[in-house]
Structure 1
Amino acid sequence: MQGSHSKDIAHFHIVGINYKKTDAAIRGSFAINQAQYQHLLDNAKSLYLDDIFVLSTCNRTEIYGFADDPQQLIELVCKETEGDCNLFSQLSYVKSGEEAIKHLYQVGTGLDSQILGDYEIIGQIRTATKFAKTNGCLGGFQERLVNSVLQVSKLIKNETSLSAGTVSVAFAAVRLLEHKVPDILQKKILLTGVGKIGRNTIKNMIDYLGVQQITLVNRTAKVAEDFAGQHGLRFAPYEQLEQELKAADIILVASNAPEPTVLPSHFEGSTPKLIIDLSIPFNVDPAVRELSHIELVNVDELSKIQDETLQMRQQEVPKALVIIEEHMNEFLYWYKMRKHAVVLKAVKDKLTEMHTKEIQQQKNGAQYKLEDIEAVSSRIIQKMINLMAGKVRREADKSDQYIAMINDIFETGVNQE
């Protein structure tokens, strides 16, 4: 797919929102699911935009790609989501050229994550770019860049302690429970939504807190049944969700429904409860927070939990930045050489054309003689000199620069001073 814009690096942009300026509710309104992603890529093709991919997680929605104007990328995102485009423009950040490239390295290595060193983000980048490539929207530039980011992420994980220790939203939930609920072994716990985040949270709770009074509820009952069987837990059908919500003391919500599934009406006349909403967008109605006997914590509040692991990770940031700089410079060198390769190939084609033409003129239907080589070579050399001299003559204001460059390229040894 050929874009109408320049593939100059200055036209490579990243536009996005993240946890730094938006809360989870706003981010949820701009989250992009698989179907929306498909439509967005189709729209990008119709606008002749390429090298496009979207990264949509609980902490960010970002779109990367080449465009004449970053506003084109903003409109692609806003067209597919429910959020207000003016709000997105106000809250979003725009980075272009080398700054955009550096941002992707920092995102992919967990330096820009809400929890420093979060290694899960690299898998999300891999999935997002694979989908874009399958749909014909990932070109050579972006694919090379992403491969470099993947390599750097692996190096930083292996050569530094940036991702060492157990810190994630799931683990932060466990730390919260550890401090807030000292008698947690006596509490009834409910998980609704047995996806990756929900499973990780439950595993951490079992490993670190030793809890077992856990009930699982999931729209697809088989998923809850299988996970419950593996860990000796109880499961209940989704149709009994309201009943299970009322019975539980602690509720973890990790479902991915587009609208809230846990409502204030579920807790009328119920006992006090602690609810942790791990979903983006929120799956607990914000009005639940107004109930005096309910305490509600969401992912943004969880991510504020700091511990000694994060402090240790912070000390590893300088090492990670050195690795990023080294590999980013390698990528930029490849990009510049790639641009030069196009010019050098064009020069080679021009010389080949000139050579062929001279040979044909020399032959002129007759048998070619070895002594004619000197005449052909001389004419080719003179034509190249004429081309360069003509350019220098036409661009008088740049003539000194051109002559200095020619002098340097051919290493003539002539002192122009």
Structure 2
Amino acid sequence: MEMNQFFVAGINYRKTDAVMRGDFAVNADQYASLLQKAKAHGLKELFILSTCNRTEIYAVAPDATLLIDLLCSETVGSAEAFKQLAYIKQGEEAIEHIFSVGAGLDSQILGDYEIVGQMKLAVKFAKQHGCIGSFLERLYNTVLQSSKVIKNETALSGGTISVSFAAIQFIKEQAANTSNKKIVLLGTGKIGRNTCKNIIDYLGTKNITLINRTDFKAVSMAIELGLRYAPYAEMKQHIDNADIVIVATNAEKAVITKESLAASGPKILIDLSIPNNIEPAVGQLPHIRLANVDDLSMINDQTLQNRLAEVPKAMHIIQQHILEFREWFGLRKHVPVLRAVKQKLSEMHNCGLFSAAHPSPLIDQDAIQKVVNTVAVKMRSQHQPGCYYIEAINDFMTIN
């Protein structure tokens, strides 16, 4: 393949709000269906990244239109709407984009490191369905290495700012005293867990009730963190009694509606889900204070300013890893030639006439590999056209 066969097509928070992004969110069932459809279209390498601030499809493909049509065959939003909002990147530009995403440089909150875990899960899911080949495997691993170096050697993800932490800041702004507030957390996935730990650490309270669609997950986390839990079937009554409700679920439609809270007492509601799992109209109620991921991303502090200063360092690290990936890709293109050279030298070695003329015991498979390695080095460093067979054979013939 050529580098320009690698595409990314996506939408993110820059041009779409949470409601629009929700129309193109992809859940696990849709993801599995998309990967099956991809195989039917002859696509062998792809994965889909669907988070609270983006939906992107990465693939080796003949064109981006095929990818968009494939993606939108499973989403609420149409391909026509997606194309109007989407960015399409190809080849080198697509390579730079995935590194930027993996580093948190393209996150709604700069340096948000949660994206790394989300990308890891997306690639793992695609690999389980046979949709990660050598190109995407190597690319993803190099992106992961780059992200780790940035995490360890810069302060791009330093301090305490992320969507889950911004939720805590929002609560502090809306409630002067949280020690006596009843808090309900719906959803105990990664974002829910992170938010829950932040509540304990930064609000100093364990007055939290966990609820999850799969009850045993809420039970397990409640036991681990010393919290209360409630069955999903009792969600409504616990929401009615709560002062603060945080939703980090993955439902296809709203689990809390304007109608359900019309007669409730004052509440602070935070929706960390895409698509929205709290009906946006809830925010119109005078006794409700509602924030979604877009609202939370606007919360700024000194930590963010410190992160901005780290961007040049992160970009330098990314460029080093992109260069490493380019070198690997360049060598990969030479593999058929090198394999043919090795095969030809092995045939010569096994030829009776050649063995009679060159009886030296040093001429063996190690010698053959040494010649092939020399050819590989020259192909990479000199980028010269010509017949490598003749040069390799000449080197092989002169081995003492």
Range class of TM-score, shorter chain = 0.7 to 0.9
Tell me which amino acid in the other structure corresponds to 1:191.
Answer: L
1:128-176 Cα shifts (integer Å, max 9, x gaps): 2222222221111111111111111111111111112222111100011
1:30 to 8, 24, 27: 24
1:287 maps onto 2:281 in alignment: yes
What's the TM-score once normalised by structure 1's chain length? 0.80
Return the alpha-carbon distance in structure 1 between the equivalents of residues 324 and 280 of structure 2. Answer: 48
Matches within 5 A, 1:98-113: 98-113=92-107
How far residue 100 of structure 1 moved from its aligned partner, in angstroms, is: 0.6
CA RMSD of aligned residues (A): 2.7
Q: For the Cα contact (< 8 Å) 2:52–2:272, is it kept in 1?
A: no
In the TM superposition, residue 285 of structure 1 has moved relative to its aligned partner by 1.4
Distance 1:198 1:142 in 2: 30
1:66 counterpart = 2:60 = yes
Q: Which amino acid in 1 is paired with 2:7?
A: H
Q: Displacement of 1:231 after TM fit?
A: 3.4
**Matching residue within 173, 180, 201 for 2:174:** 180
Q: How does 1:13-412 map to 2 (within 5 A)?
A: 13-346=7-340
Could you tell me whether the CA contact under 8 Å between 1:13 and 1:100 is conserved in 2?
yes
- Report the CA distance between 1:225 and its aligned residue: 3.0
1:245/1:266 contact within 8 Å kept: no
**How far apart are the structure 2 equivalents of 1:106 and 1:74?**
21
Percent identical among aligned pairs is 53
Q: TM-score, normalised by structure 2?
A: 0.84
1:369, CA displacement in angstroms? 9.0
Cα distance between partner residues in 2 of 1:351 and 1:205: 66
- Secondary structure of 2:229 counterpart: strand
Say which SS state the counterpart of residue 115 (structure 1) adopts.
coil
User: 1:333: how far off?
Assistant: 1.5
Query: Partner letter of residue 108 of structure 2?
Result: Q
How many residue pairs were aligned? 364
Unmatched 5+ stretches in structure 1: 1-6, 371-403, 411-417
Q: Does the residue aligned with 2:289 lie in a helix, a strand or coil?
A: strand
Q: Give the letter for the 1:104 counterpart.
A: I
Structure 2 unaligned residues grouped into runs of 5+: 358-383, 392-400
Distance in 1, matches of 2:325 and 2:13, equals 28
Q: CA deviation at 1:344?
A: 4.9
Q: Do the aligned partners of residues 189 and 335 (structure 1) sit closer, same or farther apart at CA in structure 2, a change above 3 Å counting? A: same
Report Cα offsets for 1:356-382 as digits up to 9, x if no partner. 9xx99x99xxxx996xxxxxxxxxxxx
Larger radius of gyration between Structure 1 and Structure 2: 1
Alpha-carbon separation, structure 2, partners of 1:238 and 1:337? 54
Distance 2:136 2:75 in 1: 24
User: Aligned in 2, Cα 1:251/1:348: closer, same or farther, shift over 3 Å?
Assistant: closer
What amino acid does structure 2 have at the position aligned with 1:225? V
- Output the amino acid matched with 1:135: H
